[in-house]
């Protein structure tokens, strides 16, 4: 039987740089898969269905919950997001490690399940820089950015529940830090 993979949970306030850092991890580590979530959020320009998210309507999303097919789910910034239970179970059984890029509510749900996992919280250097990054990304309207900033403080207050906190100030330094967490965890598994 294949050795069980490692489950990684990565959370951050929107705009802290989670997508950027997770992309680097996926480039560097062959045996790590990304869990593609389901969401009712509309796709951003350039996002691909089945790669970035499975984009669904609210009725379909609720049916997935009712059928017990979500490992965790949450309403985040006014949209639903959730993780497929089957995908996570299959990948771990195949010996693949998985990254769940999920919000703090989902992170707490997974931690409460007593699964073996490594959790990482990514912090922006400051709220001002977070606001600059969200505007600079150019993917969201002012309203959406404001909602995300309003939620950021509450999300950051949850960081003490995570095994590791990485401050994403200088990008190269943050990449090295998160990659060394993955390297250590995968050596030890
Ligand atoms: P998240 O996935 O957490 O919402 P992104 O990875 O999309 O955040 O990053 C938000 C924006 O900030 C993007 O435009 C990205 O290029 C930029 N960014 C990410 N990390 C850094 C960094 N260390 N320094 C400067 N800009 C960054
Ligand atoms: P975005 O809309 O910027 O892609 O993501 C918004 C937030 O939703 C981020 O914090 C992201 O981590 C979170 N998210 C993405 N997928 C999931 C998921 O499956 N479950 C939960 N709980 N949060 C998710």
Domain-embedded: residue 1? no
CB of 74 closer than 8 Å to CB of 105: yes
135 located within any domain: yes
Please enumerate in sequence order all residues whose Cβ is within 8 A of that of 71, keeping only pairs 6 or more positions apart, or say none.
82, 83, 84, 85, 88, 110
Ligand 1 mean position, distance from CA 114 (Å):
31
Three-class SS state of 25 = helix
- 132 pLDDT more than 80: yes
Convert the pLDDT of each residue in 62-86 to its tens digit.
Answer: 999 999 999 999 999 899 999 999 9
**CB of residue 92 inside a 6 A radius of ligand 2:** no
Q: What are phi and psi of 115, to 5 degrees?
A: -85, 155
Rounded CA-CA distance 133/175 in Å is 17
Banded model confidence at residue 151, pLDDT cuts 50, 70, 90:
very high
Give me the domain span that covers residue 15: 7-188
In-domain check, residue 2: no
Question: Among the atoms of ligand 2, which is closest to the Cα of residue 35?
Answer: 19
Q: What is the DSSP letter of 43?
A: P
Contacts of 125 (CB under 8 A, 6+ apart): 167, 168, 169
Q: What is the CATH number of the domain that holds 80?
A: 3.40.50.300
- Alpha helix positions (H), the chain: 18-28, 58-66, 85-93, 104-111, 127-137, 142-156, 171-188
Strands of the 53-55 sheet, one edge to the other: 53-55, 37-39, 79-84, 70-76
Residue 1 confidence (pLDDT) above 60 = no
In this structure, the residue with its CA closest to atom 18 of ligand 2 is: 82
In tens, the pLDDT along 12-35 reads 999 999 999 999 999 999 989 999
Number of structural domains (the chain) is 1
DSSP 162-184: SSEEEE-SSHHHHHHHHHHHHHH
Residue 2 pLDDT? 54
Burial class (CB in 10 A: 0-12, 13-18, 19+), 165: middle
* Nearest ligand to residue 174 Cα: 1
Residue nearest to atom 9 of ligand 2 (CA): 103
């Amino acid at each position: 039987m294949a050795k069980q993979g490692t489950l990684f949970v990565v959370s951050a306030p929107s705009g802290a740089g989670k997508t950027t850092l997770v992309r680097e991890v996926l480039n560097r580590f062959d045996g790590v898969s990304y869990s593609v979530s389901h969401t009712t959020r509309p796709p951003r320009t350039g996002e691909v269905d089945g790669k970035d998210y499975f984009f669904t309507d609210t009725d379909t999303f609720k049916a997935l919950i009712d059928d017990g097919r979500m490992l965790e789910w949450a309403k985040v910034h006014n949209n639903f997001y959730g993780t497929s239970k089957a995908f996570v179970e299959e990948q771990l059984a195949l010996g693949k490690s998985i990254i769940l890029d999920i919000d703090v509510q989902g992170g707490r749900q997974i931690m409460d399940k007593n699964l073996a996992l490594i959790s990482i919280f990514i912090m922006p250097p400051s709220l001002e820089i977070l606001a600059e990054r969200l505007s600079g990304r150019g993917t969201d309207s002012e309203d959406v950015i404001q909602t995300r900033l309003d939620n950021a403080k509450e999300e950051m207050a949850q960081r003490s529940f995570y095994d590791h906190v990485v401050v994403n100030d200088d990008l190269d330094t943050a990449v090295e830090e998160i990659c060394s967490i993955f390297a250590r965890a995968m050596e030890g598994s």
